[in-house]
Structure formats: C-alpha cells, structure tokens
Amino acid sequence: MPDALSRRPLPRRTLLSLAIAGLLPSLAQAAEPVELGTQEVVATTPLPGIDLPKDKVPSNIQTFDEQRLDSVGGQSLAENLQRALPSVNINEIQGNPYQADLNYRGFTASPLLGTPQGVSVFLDGVRINEAFGDVVHWDLIPRTAIARGAMVPGSNPLYGLNTLGGALALETKRGDTHPGGSAEVYGGSFGRHGGAVEHGGKHEELSWYLAAEGMEEDGWRDHSPSRVGQLFGKFAWTTDTTDLALTLAHADNDLIGNGLVPESLHRQKRDAIFTYPDQTENRSHLMALTGSHWLGDSDRLSGTVYLRRTRTNTLNGDGNDEYEDEYEAWEDGGFVGEGPESGVLNRTSTAQRAYGLALQWTRYLGAHQLAFGASYDNTRASFHQSEQEGELTDRRGVTAIDDEELANSLLGRTRTASLFVTDTWALTDALQLTGSLRYNRTRVVNTDRIGEDLNGDFTYRKLNPALGFAWQLQPAVTVYGGFSQGNRAPTPIELGCADPENPCSLPNAMAADPFLEQVVTRTLELGVRGELDGGTAWNVTAFRSQNYDDLLFVGTGGSQGYFTNFGRTQRQGIEFGLSGQQGPFDWRMDYTYLHATFRSGACILAENNSTEGQGGCPDDEIRISSGDYLPGLPRHNLKLGLDWNYNDRLRLGTSVLVYSDQYVRGNENNRHRPDDEFEGKGKTAGYAVVNLTADYRMTRDWTVFGRIDNLFDKRYATGGALAENPFVGTGNAFEAEPDEWRHEQFIAPGAPRAAWLGVRYRWDAL
C-alpha cells in the first residue's frame, strides 16, 4: 500500500505560468550539489506489490506515520489528517469531531448520506467507503493501530470506484514492526476522558499486535455526550517468501452531533444547539486476510479476502417539514385536530454487509515493474426510515405524540468486478513512465420492501486509464506529472431519489429510481519536488480535476427535489510545500490555492437565499451558473508547524491552521445578500487556529503529554448553510405562525479553547 480571486475561472495557461514561476527559484537553488538522505519507498496499489522510491511516483503523494499523527494532536482521525496533510480542510457540519466532512482538493469523504463523495478510503487494502452512499465513518477506523498512510492524489484508477479526487490508504501496525507496547490515559476539557492500550510481539515466524481504545465526553455544546470504543488485532505469519496477516477490528460507538445552529442563537450562547437529539450509533466488525508470496526472484503473488459488517442507527429530533402546509390547511379548516405538530423524530436503521477479494500478480522484468490484478466486491444494505410526529419543547427537544410510521424500506445491493494492470517502465535511470488501466463493472439492484416504486436494476461499466512520468533532472530535483481518470457509480440512496415526477422531501428520503449516469473525473497534474542543501524538502504542484455528469440535488419547488446528472464541476489549484530541520527544530509550511467551481447551470432548491425565484427559476430555487464557487471550500489554505526538541526528554510543538472565507450551502450561486427578509452574509469568515502539544519523558518508560486546542479561543465556523429559524418567539421559543419565521444563516461553530493532560507507560517486547 502507498506510504501511499474572483468567480472567473483561471485559464489553464495562468495555472501553468504560476506553477512554472514557483519552480524556477527552487530549480536554481537545487542546481548545487546536495547530499541526499535515505529514499522513502512507497507502493502503487492497495495490495502488496510494486515498491517505488517516492521520487519515481508521478504525483504529489503525501505520506505520514504514527509519530506524525501523534505530534499534531487532534481528537479524531479526521482532525489528525487536517493538521498533518496539505490541501485538507474539514467541515464540522454534524458538530462532532468523529463526524467531520473531510475535503481534499475540493473532494469530500463524509459520514453524511446525500453528500457527494469523491475520496476513497482503504484500511489494509480493504475499501471502507460504505456502499450505501459511499460514506466514510471516521469513528470506525482504529486510530491507535495506524502505522502509516498516504493521501494519493488525483483520479488514480488503481484504487477503484469513488477515487475522483484522491485515495486515503492506511496501514495498521504489526507485532514484528511494532514490538512492545504502551498504555495511556488522559482527561480534560468537556469532560473528555479516555485511554488506549497496545501490545505487539513476535515468536519465530508468528507475530501479533493487539490494541484497544475508548473515549467518553460530555461535549462542549448542550446535550452532546459521545462514547467511542474500538478493539483491534492483527496476527501474522512471515517467512523469507511468504507473509500472511489476519486483521480483526470491532467498534461500538454512540455519537451525538447536534449540527448547525443559527448565528443569532450562537451569538447569545456559544454552546447552544438548534434541535435535539441528533444521535448516531455505529457498530462494525471487520475480518480481512492479506497475503503475499514470492514465486521466484521476480514474481510476487498477493491478495486480500475480507468480510465487513456495519450497522448504523440514527435518531434526529427536527422541525416538522410538513408544518407550514399543515398550518395553512388548519387555518382554512381543512386540517383535522387541534393543529399541526411542530416537531418530528426521524429514525433510520442501516445494516450493511460487504465481502470481497482481490488478487494481484507482480512481475519485475528488466526495466519494467508490472502488476496484473482482479477484484470483486459484493455489498448488501438494508435501510429503514421512520417518522414520529411530536411537539418541540421550550429547549428545542422533541416530545413524541403520534405513533411511529414507516416511511421507507429499501434493500440495496451493489456488486463490482474489476480488472487492472499497471506498468512502471524505466526508460532511463532518471526517467520512469507509469501507465495503468482499470475496468470496472458495477451492478446496483434496489428492492422496495413497501411497494414497487424503488425497484431498479442498473449496470455501469467504465475503462479508466492513467499515464504519468517522473523525471529526475538532478539527484535533488524531480519533475513529475500525468493524466488519470476515475469513476463513481450512483449509490442505492441516489438512485432511490432520482425521479422528477416523484421528488423527495430530503436527499436521504426516497421516492423512485430512474437511471443516473455515473460520475467520471479526469485529472491533470504537473509538479516538481526536490531537496535543498541542508535537507530542506520542497514541492510545487499544479492540478486540475473535472467532473462529468456530476450529481446534484435539484429542487422542484416547495421543499422537494431529486438527484440528477446536471453537468460539470471543476477543481484546480496549486500546492506549495516546504519542510526541514534546523538544529532542535522540525518545521514545515504548506499552502494550497483552490479554485472549485460549477461549470454548468441549473436551478436548485435554496428557499432561504435572497435571490430565490430569480434567473428564470421557480420560487424557492436559485440559478447556479458556470463559474459559481462551490460551498464549503476555502480558496486559501495555509498550515504551519514547528516542533522544538529541547532535549531527548522534552518536545514542544505548535500548529497553525489558516483558512480563507467560504460560501455556505444554500448560496451555491454566491449571490445571496442580507436584506429585511433574509439574514446572513452567505459565507463564513476566514480564521486562524493555533494548537499546542507537548511531551515530557520523566523516565525511560513514563511520559507525560498534553495539548491545548484553539489556544487563543478563536470564535470561528468550519461551514454553514442558509436555513429557516422558527425559534423567534420570546426567549427563543417556537413561533407557531410560519410567516414570522426568519431566513437566517446557520453555522458549524468551532470548539472553544480546551486542554487535556495524560500519562503514557511504554514497555519493551517480551
């Protein structure tokens, strides 16, 4: 696996000119002889196979290890990755660090159904995007057990479906590479306390690694307790020619993420929430067997077989979407009863089972390193959705009054078979050419368990190529670039809400499933990297990704809509990175400029945008045009890191995250302006957050560690949306008259300053 300005779009020549301008000074400096350090070796597929020096990989691959994740701090894996990797930002739409949307180069890996997904995630070669929506549950990944990983950029076809903007490949620890163990406990702000224990060992050919971790907290916002528990084990048998590893993982988590809050309410009370409860219960089991065997000096056979089960139950206390229509009918005397219910409890239950296998044959043949492979993945998802109407309380909770009613029941099955080939050809000692092909065939079958509207059977086929080069101009300077293409087949939930004649009230409700085209992404990348005298590493990369037949939730009026293929979106930008060591200091700087825009036009549902009904769109809809900027994505992303290794006992570290402003959801046309009826700017302000970490080794085995997040207690928001606020009565009480409700901007507030302190004990292998 790999260690693995305006809305007007920038012309291609502009991007290339900017890239070249950034390269020239570095090239000039690097012309002087430098002493190179040891080369980092990475691989090119999720399975064990071809290993290449990083300088021979034709993309700006970003690698990290457990030490890097520990040093940057962060409670969840998504937070770790935001601090450790360039071009990554997160939107905490759910308000829980374990449920963040992770954005990389403008593509997303999110736990929320209905969110357009574009990043694939692998754990020990097993794809862990859930088939029902391609979502990623960050809380199910065993953070303590991660040994290393890589963010592979672009639409690399070797990583299969949903690799539109990139692939995150994670590898877990083993007893033969991580002998000994540790135990730690910590506690601090928000009532958060937790711990982890791990141990690895080896006896002759056998090795083992075991880990357990847990966390409980009250949360920093009202009614926001969470609990996370994970178990992990890896057992391996290794000889000179053969390696077999069995991975076992289990997670049982209870998360509260109370989501967005109106800006007016947040100004009154920083820890306020909108409505509650918003609960997600996740449980998972994973069993995977990975093996590799050298058939000779030049041939290696590797493979993976896995079984994975997950169950997700959600309970959301919300305002009743049908309240306004029912209130109008009640006023006209056409509604039976004392009046409409103001709240509703929405419940979902999703049970998924996935199994599959992958085989790969790697051959070293002179100047060629070839790999041939095949994979098969079969998933089954059982989805149930119910509603129970009730009343919103004075504290914005929901008290159920009516009986629970089943709204949807769907069985979605997805089967994907793939063939792939890749070859890295050393044309000379300094020039490598890498070409890849992958053929995907995906069949999606939906079965309606209530009626027949959701029944459907669709098949998608795609051949995706990639071609790239890495040219080592000098021992310390490498130019690289290439083209890649990836695809994503529509998921059962998108196909279940795709009929304009029978629209859904929400993206995660379902009505009918006509055919949708698969999304295809094509990526171009060009860059240069190297090392200056003294060991300073640098890189400059220009990239451009374009989605074709992108999926969009299109409004039909009122509060309904459907998923459809509407056209194109584009992400392009420039990455620049520097890192090095000066005496006791380790430092790094990463900057990304991202220009992410719609490239087609459409009318979409946005009833809380001040421009709704304009541009030829029906009431409650806005027109997006080519060049409008995508919401939730800052143009500028700057990350600074500095570690001070005072001596062999004390380490102090700091990280600074700086993001420019971003448009909120509901302002996809970027034209919303506040007035007497509509509030909010339609965007969230840019911000900078400073975090501190420290480790002090008291003895050989005992270490005290601590961290402070948001040192200067900055008030900021990681995302937002334009929505309607019915809590405008006295004391923020529910207002029964819908005409009095406010169109307002809601935000995902960042956590205030917080600190944690812990102790860790380490022991050597037995």
pLDDT tens profile 694-714: 999 999 999 999 999 999 999
Q: Is the pLDDT of residue 687 over 70?
A: yes
pLDDT confidence of residue 497: 66
- Between residues 5 and 530, which one has the greater pLDDT? 530
pTM of the model: 0.92
Architecture of domain 12-763: Beta Barrel (2.40)
- Helix and strand tally (H, E) in the chain? 6, 40
For the ranges 346-360, 484-498, 501-515, the maximum mean pLDDT occurs at 346-360
Q: How far apart are CA 500 and CA 552, in angstroms?
A: 13
Q: 235-249: b or e for each residue (b if 16 or more CB lie within 10 Å)?
A: bbebeeeebebebeb
Q: Is the pLDDT of residue 7 over 50?
A: no
Q: Is the pLDDT of residue 316 over 80?
A: yes
229-243, 400-414, 661-675: least confident range: 400-414
Q: How far apart are CA 352 and CA 538, in angstroms?
A: 43
pLDDT confidence of residue 655: 96
In whole numbers, what is the pLDDT of the chain averaged over residues? Answer: 88
In whole angstroms, how far apart are CA 663 and each of 172, 645, 680?
A: 37, 40, 11
pLDDT confidence of residue 501: 57
pLDDT tens profile 497-536: 666 555 554 444 433 335 678 999 999 999 999 999 888 9
pLDDT tens profile 538-592: 999 999 999 998 877 654 443 345 667 778 999 999 999 999 999 999 999 999 9
pLDDT tens profile 171-214: 999 999 999 999 999 999 999 999 999 999 999 999 999 999 99
- The continuous run of DSSP H or E covering 494 comes out as helix 492-495
Q: What is the mean pLDDT of residues 84-88?
A: 95
pLDDT confidence of residue 361: 95
* Percentage of the residues of the chain whose pLDDT score is greater than 70: 90
pLDDT confidence of residue 562: 64
Residue type, 322: E
When pLDDT is cut at 50, 70 and 90, the band that residue 33 belongs to is very low
pLDDT confidence of residue 644: 96
- Between residues 533 and 362, which one has the greater pLDDT? 362
pLDDT confidence of residue 443: 95
Q: What is the mean pLDDT of residues 253-263?
A: 93
Is there a cis peptide before residue 116, judged by omega within 30 degrees of 0? no
Q: Is the pLDDT of residue 372 over 60?
A: yes
Beta-strand pair 560-582/585-598: antiparallel
